[in-house]
Amino acid sequence: MNRLVTVAEMTLRELLRRRGVLALMLLLPLSFYLLRRDAYVGQSVRSLMLGIGWSVSTAALFATSAARELEPRLRLAGYRPHHLYLGRMLGLWAAGLAIALPFFLIVAFDAPQLRHGGVAVAMLCCVAIAPPRCWAS
């Protein structure tokens, strides 16, 4: 478990070093939500889900490219491939939750007529599916 936490922490540190990417990962879903907000609230929430999925998969792409330099060293230190994969997934899921939580709060305050439990489950699905989907393509 300690090895998974170490790889997850390494992934989060690498993502936090890229401040421009972090700003883009937060601004794109917000712009998707605000652009569709006037027409229909449901469409704006769907656009927000698309933006969150894009942000988390982009974070997975950057984490994968950054990890290519570090993974050989970690393998030499005794880390198994499943430690590296699951640790990176854990870090990306934590980053995805950190991205999705402010947007959930925006939706909760901006659209009180929606079913917030369903919106939360949809956001969790976007966060859970986006990192492995990025690696599959």
Model pLDDT for residues 19-70, shown as the tens digit of each residue: 887 888 888 888 888 887 777 777 888 888 999 988 888 888 888 887 788 7
The span from the CA of 35 to the CA of 3, in Å, is: 42
Token pair recorded at residue 75: 């393998």
Position with higher pLDDT, 118 vs 136: 118
Angle at CA of residue 63, ends 59 and 65, nearest 5° = 120
Q: Are 33 and 47 in contact (CB under 8 A)?
A: yes
Token pair recorded at residue 64: 């994968």
- What DSSP designation does 49 have? H
Q: What is the pLDDT of residue 132?
A: 77
Q: How far apart are the first and last CA of the chain?
A: 28
**Long-range contacts for 116-121 (Cβ within 8 Å, ≥24 apart)?**
119/45
| One-letter amino acid of 104 | F
Token pair recorded at residue 76: 């030499």
Residues ≥6 apart with Cβ < 8 Å to 69: none
pTM for the whole structure? 0.84
Confidence grade of residue 135 (pLDDT, cut at 50, 70, 90): low
As to burial, measured by CB atoms within 10 angstroms (0-12 exposed, 13-18 middle, 19+ buried), residue 80 is exposed
